Structure 1
Amino acid sequence: MRLTVFGATGGIGGHVVRQALDAGHEVAAVVRASSSYDVAHPKLEVVRVPGLTSAEPLVEAVDGSDAVISGVGPRGRKDGPVASGSTRSILAAMRKTGVRRFVAVSAAPLGPDAPDESFVNRRLLLPMMNAVAADVYADLRVMEGDIRTSDADWTIVRPPKLTNGRLTGTYRTVVGGTVSRGFTISRADVAHLMLAALTTPNTINQPVGVAY
């Protein structure tokens, strides 16, 4: 399988690239022209673009791929609406090239409350998270809306707090919902799920909650 990975220099995207190569896939890693990127592999193509605000520079990276994975997102609350603008360009490039399968990362607070979520989480922790990162989640809501109304065969992965822990391959998922009492997950395991979703038909056109 040939995959195009956006956000390849980021925490989740970097893991996606490495895990995909380890699994034998061909990978086109999309990085900004100004970014340093020293990953090398016989099946890796590094595509440098001026930015993600326009679809045209992204067409070459997407063309001929079987699927697109996006780990693009803000690295801090001051980064602005990074996810929605970038995703809009990625989806436009996919339309131009006829690529349909798309997996993107979002965040757990955008999902519904789990039916058995604790009272403390439901009434205190989750509202506090939404208040602190309101701009980030507003951007992700726009992104998710654009993905849902696109003609892509999409999967949106919603993790809780991200860590730099190791790849375990062992975590809980809820297709169409939120993992109850799920507080953390490593970036490596989020990448693992994003790759696994490509061969899991019941995740198509569904959000997927994930956590330990």
Structure 2
Amino acid sequence: MRLVVLGATGQTGKEVVQQALDAGHFITAVVRDPDKVTASHPNLQVVKADIFDEGALKPVMAEQEAVVSCLGFPRHPQPVTGYTESMKAVVEAMREGNVQRLVTMTAWYTDTSVASRMGFLTNWILVPFLKPVLTNMREMELYLETSCSDINYTVVRPPGLKNAPKTGLEMTVRDGYVVETGTVFNGTTRADVAGFMLHCLTTPQYDRKMVAITTQKPQQ
């Protein structure tokens, strides 16, 4: 496939790029600083563009088949707006280029009310700390739900991300905002998440869905 990867210099984005190249895909990596791209491959094109600028993104979408976004934004300054602002520009550019498939990443707990059943640390420390980011992630999800009926999106919600090789473990997938694992210490490798995001492009199973994922065993 011909894929646009956003956030390609981030830790998860790097995994997406490398795994996609290993699978034989043609990658256009959209970045702010091309010097940060360490990968080199005949099937890799690196393009410098502003992810908030629809006009800058439109040429990137020419003859592409899908967009994979691993964009992330810090919790300061507040309010966080990067997820919604970038997605609106990306979607408009996709429409111009007639690209309909999108896989993007948010996180567990974009509905922060779910934290109330996940234990003290999650409810009173983790989620309040991340709330500015989670709130904007949810606003982006709602934008896709309400304003993007023409876009075949998949929103992938992982737990805490770890730097480690692919585990080979089966991914547990749930419709919703969290996977009940019975522990507050939830984590999945970025490599596993990248692999799942690319897998979503090969099956209609997750078309127009928002799913929570983890390689940890779910609570029985």
User: How has the CA–CA distance of structure 1 residues 33 and 207 changed in structure 2, closer, same or farther, with 3 Å as cutoff?
Assistant: same
Aligned counterpart in structure 2 of residue 147 of structure 1, from 134, 144, 148: 144
Instruction: Name the amino acid aligned to 2:21.
Output: L
In the other structure, the counterpart of 1:179 is 179
Cα offset, 1:111, TM superposition: 5.4
Counterparts of 1:24-103 in structure 2, within 5 Å, are 24-33=24-33, 36-49=36-49, 51-74=50-73, 76-78=74-76, 80-103=80-103
* TM-score, normalization by structure 1: 0.89
Taking only the aligned residue pairs, the percentage that are identical comes to 35
Instruction: Name the amino acid aligned to 2:83.
Output: A
**Contact 2:34 2:47 (C-alpha < 8 Å) held by counterparts:** no
User: How has the CA–CA distance of structure 1 residues 124 and 140 changed in structure 2, closer, same or farther, with 3 Å as cutoff?
Assistant: same
Cα offset, 1:47, TM superposition: 0.9
In the other structure, the counterpart of 2:129 is 132
In the other structure, the counterpart of 2:218 is none
Cα offset, 1:56, TM superposition: 0.9
Counterparts of 1:117-128 in structure 2, within 5 Å, are 122-128=118-124
Q: Does 1:201 align with 2:199?
A: no
**Contact 1:169 1:192 (C-alpha < 8 Å) held by counterparts:** no
How far apart, CA to CA, are the structure 2 residues paired with 1:165 and 1:111?
28
Runs of 4+ in 1 over 6 A off after TM superposition: none
In the other structure, the counterpart of 2:159 is 160
Bigger drift between 180-189 and 195-204 goes to: 180-189
User: How has the CA–CA distance of structure 1 residues 12 and 47 changed in structure 2, closer, same or farther, with 3 Å as cutoff?
Assistant: same
Bigger drift between 177-186 and 57-66 goes to: 177-186
Partner SS state of residue 108, structure 1: coil
CA deviation map 1:94-130 (0-9, x unaligned): 111110000000001125988xx9x9x5242332322
Aligned residue-pair number = 206
How far apart, CA to CA, are the structure 2 residues paired with 1:102 and 1:68?
5
How far apart, CA to CA, are the structure 1 residues paired with 2:173 and 2:112?
11
CA deviation map 1:133-179 (0-9, x unaligned): 11101110111111222121000000011111211232432242332
How far apart, CA to CA, are the structure 1 residues paired with 2:212 and 2:112?
10
**Contact 2:110 2:135 (C-alpha < 8 Å) held by counterparts:** no
Cα offset, 1:34, TM superposition: 6.7
**Structure 1: where are the runs of 5+ without partners?**
none
Cα offset, 1:200, TM superposition: 1.9
RMSD: 2.1
Instruction: Name the amino acid aligned to 1:97.
Output: G
How far apart, CA to CA, are the structure 2 residues paired with 1:35 and 1:137?
30
